[in-house]
Structure 1
Amino acid sequence: MTLTFTLDPVIDPALHEGLLDLWTDVSNAGGAVGFVPPVDRDAVRPQLIKQLAQVADGASRLLVGHDAEGRVAATAFLTYNTHQLMTHWLWVYTVMVHPRHQGRGYGRDLMAAVADAVRGFDGIEAIRLNCRGGLGLEHFYAACGYKEVGRVPSAIRVAPGDDRDDIFMLLPLG
């Protein structure tokens, strides 16, 4: 079984709810996507609305992967850099694969779909992302071709006494 990826899907109520479920489930499974478990849909909803507003105004693009049953299974937000001197690369945020699909290579499939999509964007030469240290995410992204280009020690406070590095990764597309 593989995922079917769609760039810039129509954001209808079903997709909105699917994204909300995905983000909540990934967060509760310990995913490093902006929340610390336990979290419920009401806590996630404002951040989803914020990111979808950026999609609506053209500041971001949305890549969604659906499973064979048509459920939202993976996603990434591709956000243009607005700094005048940095418009040649973009950010990838909120990279998620549903816990029921993890361990099947779908994360690599998602990151390959991200790179393929971005290669079609005019003037974009690289993709940048940040990941939370302490989970081995930098190794996953390195296996997808990203290089660590910086690190801020203890920049992310998950809980009192549990600080993690903020790791900067870059994928040149050339």
Structure 2
Amino acid sequence: MALFFVADPPVTRSLRAGLLETWTDASNAGGAIGFVPPISPRDVEPLLDEQLSAVDQGRMLLVVGLDGDEVRAAGFIERNTHRLMQHWVWVKTVMVHPEAQGRGAGFALMLALAAQARSMPGIEAVRLTCRGGLGLEDFYARCGYKEVGRVPGAIRVGPGDERDDITMLLPL
């Protein structure tokens, strides 16, 4: 499966539906994308619409990995509005559909997100956070990111199940 990556695509009904399906299915497959499974599209819709609104307003940029016309990977780049921190961006809501997992789609998505960040004037680094306990920091390290911070127990996924909030940095 070779994905074709598109930055800032027009958000059509079909694209929105593909993003909703990918986010829901990836979360239910164990992905740490802001939810704890099981979830339904109804759970995801408000967050997806919030991020698509930010894209529409120019505060975020959407990068989508397509297999034909099917969404198989996506991530958002959020511009930093603090006047002293506008030289770096956040990567958020990184997702790969379960059918594309284990085939290099996640690595390809991270390369596409970094390439998009590099194309943004004045951007020198990319930051992201990830949930501890899943080995995500190892994946992001293979993508060139370095762990630069960790808050123990900051994410509560269930009673008595706290995970570290890990901050990763990719200098461009």
TM-score by length of 1: 0.98
1:92-122 CA-partner distances (Å, limit 9, x unpaired): 0000111111111111111011111111100
1:107-162 CA-partner distances (Å, limit 9, x unpaired): 11110111111111001000000000000000000000000000000000000000
Matched residue of 2:20: which SS?
Answer: helix
Matched residue of 2:51: which SS?
Answer: helix
**TM superposition outliers: structure 1 runs of 4+ over 6 Å:** none
Aligned length: 172
Superposition pairs for residues 34-53 of structure 1, below 5 Å? Answer: 34-53=34-53
Shift of the alpha carbon at 1:23?
0.6
Shift of the alpha carbon at 1:70?
1.9
* 2:132 counterpart of 1:133: yes
- Cα distance in 2 for partners of 1:18, 1:110 equals 16
Partner of 2:25: 25
Give the unaligned 5+ runs of structure 2. none
Partner of 2:101: 102
Partner of 2:4: 4
1:106 maps to a residue whose letter is: A
* RMSD between superposed Cα atoms in Å: 0.6
- Cα distance in 2 for partners of 1:170, 1:144 equals 10
- Cα distance in 2 for partners of 1:18, 1:150 equals 33
2:127 maps to a residue whose letter is: R
Shift of the alpha carbon at 1:17?
0.5
Matched residue of 2:62: which SS?
Answer: strand
Q: Percent identity?
A: 61
Partner of 2:13: 13
- Cα distance in 2 for partners of 1:97, 1:21 equals 10
